[in-house]
């Protein structure tokens, strides 16, 4: 126990090394951040159902109801739904039939 201006303080073991490696020990490398699956081209222009952690596609459908039903069929009841724009829109080109498209 140390005394500072009349007040006693107590340091827990390892208090100095919290958040950093103690002297003489190697630092732990940071954990890589998981990245979501790349959306395959066959899913563009469709609704996809992502796993609850948002890292992988578990199903796809032409509408949100189809994507949800397909996710339920593979055993993922709490999937996250997302509309994936058509490939042309992803590349910054207007979709066929859109205003201003040739």
Judge whether 49 lies within some domain: yes
Please give the pLDDT value at position 67. Answer: 97
Can you tell me the distance from the alpha carbon of 64 to that of 83, in angstroms, rounded to the nearest whole number? 8
Structural domain count of the chain: 1
Judge whether 94 lies within some domain: no
**What are the start-end ranges of the E strands in the chain?**
2-4, 7-9, 46-50, 57-61, 80-84
Per DSSP, the residues of 18-42 read TTSPPTTSPPPPPPPPP-PPPPPGG
Please give the pLDDT value at position 11. Answer: 53
Please give the pLDDT value at position 25. Answer: 65
Can you give the residue range of the structural domain that contains 77?
A: 44-85
List pLDDT tens digits, range 5-37. Answer: 555 555 555 545 455 555 666 788 888 888 998
List pLDDT tens digits, range 42-97. Answer: 999 999 999 999 999 999 999 999 999 999 999 999 999 999 999 888 676 655 55
Residue 81 exposure: Cα atoms within 13 Å on the Cβ side? 17
Question: Quick check: pTM over 0.85?
Answer: no
């Amino acid at each position: 126990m140390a005394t500072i201006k009349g007040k006693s303080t107590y340091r827990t073991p390892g208090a100095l090394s919290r958040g950093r490696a103690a002297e003489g020990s190697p630092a732990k490398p940071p954990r890589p951040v998981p990245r979501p699956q790349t959306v395959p081209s066959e899913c563009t222009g469709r609704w996809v159902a992502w796993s609850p952690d948002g890292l992988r596609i578990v199903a796809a459908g032409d509408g949100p109801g189809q994507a949800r039903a397909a996710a339920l069929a593979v055993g993922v009841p709490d999937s996250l739904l997302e509309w994936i724009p058509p490939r042309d829109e992803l590349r910054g080109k207007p979709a066929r039939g859109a205003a201003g498209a040739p």
